Amino acid sequence: MNSKFDVIVVGGGIAGLTAGLVSARLGRRTLIHTSELLGGHLLSIETIEGYPGHPDGIAGYELCPLAQGQAADAGAEFAMSRVEALTCDGDEWQLATGSGDYAARAVIVATGTELRELGVPGEALLRGKGVSHCASCDAPLLGGKPVVAVGGGDSALQEALTLADHASKVTVVHRGEELTAQESFRRRAAAHPRIEFVASTEVVEIIGEDAVDGVRVREAPGGSGGDGTRDLETSAVFVYIGLRPNAALLADRLSLDSTGRIPVDTQMRTGLRGLFGAGTVRSGAAGRAVAAAGDGTLAAIAADRFLADGDWPG
């Protein structure tokens, strides 16, 4: 592959796929470079909700290949390996990756986020043996046993609803007194006969040797239940306690915001000439798939303008 492009998109989630699609349609030679299967978080979501045109939701494994095919048909090229470093030499950005070096005048960083880990004993040992971030991948293997979902936000409740189709019981353990998920998830989860909630509680250990046998929990700090711990029996633990932005590539070149995200202007331009941010890795991201796709569109259009006229603010 000739390694010089007009635009390189780093990240193949919905923001990156859309950026690549729009950029290729504008006639720019475009590479989408991603470290994992194309689709990012959406790929593992059983029913993506709130995506326009899909009133009953759409599975990630349906939407993502469609977006990938659309970008390929428009002329976007693909490379799969992690981008390890991003440097700038004059007017050209250079990417060092596991599959070689690439260069472009415009780079769109759409590296998204990773789900946070609990950081408790047993979690690393039992990852893939009952500790999971992916309800749609692992729920069919549950065989009607009880499971725990950790977290009180949108992801935790959405995935608890997916798990409840396969488990005998889903216990949602969350640290706050109240759930923070949007109303539609709260209402449906509360009405579900196989979902129950344990509030103001945190997981302190995952118990088991070759498989998950249970979780040890205690009252979250600030609660009134004392220091005691108790064990909940479970065959799997699904962890949804927030997201960590994948912005390390830029951490020594840009000041990230207080959440670790990349500051951008309304055209997705960063403070570095020719460099754009899009999707959930950018400051102020809305956290919805359609917004990430919108960011990708804006970034691709702005990159096209930049390549045409060379204008950059500041």
Ligand X SMILES: Cc1cc2nc3c(=O)[nH]c(=O)nc-3n(C[C@H](O)[C@H](O)[C@H](O)COP(=O)(O)OP(=O)(O)OC[C@H]3O[C@@H](n4cnc5c(N)ncnc54)[C@H](O)[C@@H]3O)c2cc1C
**Residues paired with residue 201 on neighbouring β-strands, in sequence order:** 219
Interface residue with ligand X among 26, 31, 45, 126 (CB under 6 A) is: 45
Task: Name which of residues 235 to 254 contact ligand X (CB under 6 A).
Answer: 240, 246, 249
Single-letter amino acid, residue 75: G
* Minimum distance, C-beta of residue 99 to ligand X, in the bound complex (Å): 11
What 3-state DSSP class applies to 176? coil
Does 297 bind ligand X (CB under 6 A)? Our answer is no
Q: Residue for token digits 């912005």?
A: 247
| Residue that the structure tokens 């390996």 belong to | 81
Does residue 215 contact residue 207 with C-beta atoms inside 8 Å?
Answer: yes
Choice from 7, 9, 14, 262 touching ligand X (CB under 6 A): 14
* Cβ-contact 153, 176 below 8 angstroms: no
What mask of x and - would describe binding to ligand X in positions 120 to 159, judged by CB under 6 A?
Answer: -----------------------------------x--xx
* Residue from 3, 25, 29, 35 binding ligand X (CB under 6 A): 35
DSSP 3-state of 9: strand
* Coil/strand/helix, residue 6: strand
Residue 20 makes contact with ligand X by CB under 6 A: no
User: Cβ neighbours of residue 313 under 8 Å, at least 6 residues apart?
Assistant: 265, 269
Neighbours of 5 (CB within 10 A): 25
Select 189 or 214, whichever has its Cβ closest to ligand X: 189
Tell me whether residue 227 is exposed, middle or buried, using C-beta atoms within 10 angstroms of its C-beta: 0 to 12, 13 to 18, 19 or more: exposed
> Is residue 58 within the footprint of ligand X (CB under 6 A)?
no
Segment 253 to 292, residues that bind ligand X, using CB under 6 A? 279-280, 287-290, 292
Piece of 10-18, 99-107, 161-169, 198-206 that binds ligand X (CB under 6 A): 10-18
- Which CB, 15 or 298, lies closer to ligand X? 15
CA distance 64 to 17: 9
Torsion, Cα 9 12 18 20, to 10 degrees, reads 40
Looking at beta carbons only, is 3 or 35 nearer to ligand X? 35
Among 31, 48, 148, 203, binds ligand X (CB under 6 A): 48
Interatomic CA distance for residues 151 and 170, integer angstroms = 12
Task: For residue 42, state whether it binds ligand X (rule: CB under 6 A).
Answer: yes
Listed ranges 21-29, 45-53, 61-69, 266-274: which one lies at the site for ligand X (CB under 6 A): 45-53
CB of 219 to ligand X, least distance (A): 26
Tokens standing for residue 302: 């702005």
Number of residues interacting with ligand X: please give it, by CB under 6 A.
38
List contacts with ligand X (CB under 6 A): 10-16, 33-36, 40-42, 45, 48-51, 82-83, 110-113, 155, 158-159, 240, 246, 249, 279-280, 287-290, 292
